[in-house]
Amino acid sequence: MKDNSTWLNILEILKNELTEAEINQWLSPLNIKTLNGNPIILTAPNKFFKTWVEDNYLTLIKKTFKENLGLKSDIDIIISIENKDDQTIRTVSVERNVTTTDTTFDLPLNKRFTFDNFVVGTSNRYAHAACSSLISGKTTANPLYIYGDVGLGKTHLMHAVGNEFKERFPKYRILYTTGESFVNDFVTSMRLSKLDSFKQRYLNIDLFLCDDVQFIAGKSRTMEEFFFTFSQLYATQKQIVLTSNTSPNNIKELDPRLSSRFTSGLMVDVSTPSVEEKEAIIKKYIEIEDLTTQRFSDDIIRYLANNLKSDSTREILGATLRIFTLASIDNEDITIQFAEKHLKDFLMKRDKTLSPDSILELTAKYYQLKVSDLKSKNRSKTIALARSIAMYLIREKMSLSYTEISSIFSRDHSTALHAVNKITDELLTNHELEGTINVLLDKMKLIH
């Protein structure tokens, strides 16, 4: 198992150079067979993987071995399923749950992309519901078309559908591919005059998952073949799920016959997550990846959710992993200062002038009070309310801990927690309060 963890480390390092999707798709299914010696031998689940990785990633892999492990050996890739007696390799590929079938162009499903590991929120509610309804057979959505910006969970949901079908209906033939891989498969099949087996492969399935389908656009022969495949599967009532970075009508150079087919089923989008969703996703990620040796406090998670520049879940999780790795290496606590220092390029430019003081001033002014009233022990109704609102706003905007906020008001550490909870509860029903908070939030936007 030692080699397995070396490979996982290499993948971790490669995350700096490649997208997570590339790593999941192409490199996770590989493994190290022998590390000592020249060449280093890696195993791939099938020929297509071997060629693809050799053509696209071998130089980078070699460089990473050299720079991080000091290994200058050449690297050879062999196909693992040819070597059926090799128990070690078999166990490893079972562990990773790589679907190795005899079809060369199938891509593996990522075992970790499950419904259980997916956080549902307003940004992805419909997409999630549509995917789950496929499983329960409660829908006739065909095709199901999921679209949205990169990093928002489309691939995750698609794999979740595949994984769930695989578990519930073991006899189902599932084919997961990407637009890019479909193009390659088609072009290769043409070149080798193997179009028949290509057709055979794509038609002989029950569930067709095609991720990032936009990649077929602009390639007329491929689109024609895709149209044929689609129509045949559709006519025989096979479920089709597609994802894309945009709606069918916005894909440039997509055959109109395809966009009309793609729009004919159910289209759902995924949008950028709210701060609360980001927090929940980060928490889930920490749990799944077991990033627990270094403690992520709720304050840090909230800080990350509030301050990271990108709304892409992929990048948010990347930053979380980065901070975890750096803290583990130096064995440091993950504090806001630590995160600030190490995530500089990933953080939003902080509004320099928005501070607890400016929030206090704004709130006091709104209620025609003085800042000193808010900080005083006076418990008259208006002052107490204004004080609680100020605590709530500082918490919303400044990512300070409750203890820190309480101390601004010279209060016991749990005071801010109670005040913020009270306002949060109250906001659910009290529209006047909601209006006040919105006015104050708007005013804060004007501070420069």
Instruction: Summarize as ranges the residues that interact with ligand ADP (CB under 6 A).
Output: 20-21, 113, 117-119, 124, 150-156, 281, 284, 313-314, 317
**Cα–Cα distance between 370 and 375 in angstroms, integer?**
9
Q: Output the 3-class SS for 174-232.
A: EEEEEHHHHHHHHHHHHHCCCHHHHHHHHHCCCEEEEECHHHHCCCHHHHHHHHHHHHH
Smallest separation (angstroms) from ligand ADP to the CB of 105: 20
Smallest separation (angstroms) from ligand ADP to the CB of 151: 5
By a kind-dependent CB cut-off of 5 to 8 A, residue 119 interacts, out of Mg ion, ligand ADP, none, with: ligand ADP
By a kind-dependent CB cut-off of 5 to 8 A, residue 281 interacts, out of Mg ion, ligand ADP, none, with: ligand ADP
Closer by beta carbon to Mg ion, 198 or else 208 = 208
Closer by beta carbon to ligand ADP, 142 or else 246 = 246
Smallest separation (angstroms) from Mg ion to the CB of 94: 25
CA-wise closest residue to 80 among 60, 95, 62: 95
> Residue written as tokens 């698609």?
158
The single-letter code of the amino acid at 407 is S
And the tokens for 442? Answer: 């708007």
By a kind-dependent CB cut-off of 5 to 8 A, residue 118 interacts, out of Mg ion, ligand ADP, none, with: ligand ADP
CA-wise closest residue to 131 among 123, 139, 171: 139
Q: By CB under 5 A, tell whether 178 contacts Mg ion.
A: no
Smallest separation (angstroms) from Mg ion to the CB of 405: 39
Which residue number has the CB closest to ligand ADP? 153
By a kind-dependent CB cut-off of 5 to 8 A, residue 57 interacts, out of Mg ion, ligand ADP, none, with: none
Closer by beta carbon to ligand ADP, 154 or else 238 = 154
Smallest separation (angstroms) from ligand ADP to the CB of 117: 6
> Residue written as tokens 């204004």?
386
Smallest separation (angstroms) from ligand ADP to the CB of 163: 12
Closer by beta carbon to ligand ADP, 318 or else 356 = 318
All residues at 6 or more sequence positions from 308 whose CB lies less than 8 Å from its CB, including other chains: 278, 315, 316, 319, 343, 346, 347, 348
Closer by beta carbon to ligand ADP, 50 or else 278 = 278
φ, ψ dihedrals at 245, nearest 5°: -80, -10
**Cα–Cα distance between 214 and 243 in angstroms, integer?**
8
The single-letter code of the amino acid at 431 is H
**Cα–Cα distance between 151 and 337 in angstroms, integer?**
27
Residues in region 419-438 near Mg ion by CB under 5 A: none
Closer by beta carbon to ligand ADP, 149 or else 361 = 149
Closer by beta carbon to ligand ADP, 32 or else 317 = 317
By a kind-dependent CB cut-off of 5 to 8 A, residue 339 interacts, out of ligand ADP, Mg ion, none, with: none
* Other CB atoms within 10 A of residue 216 CB: 26
Angle between helices 356-366 and 431-445 (to 10 degrees): 130
Angle between helices 179-191 and 195-203 (to 10 degrees): 150
Residues in region 127-156 near Mg ion by CB under 5 A: 154-155
Residue 31: in which H helix or E strand, if any?
strand 31-34
Residues that bind Mg ion (CB under 5 A): 154-155
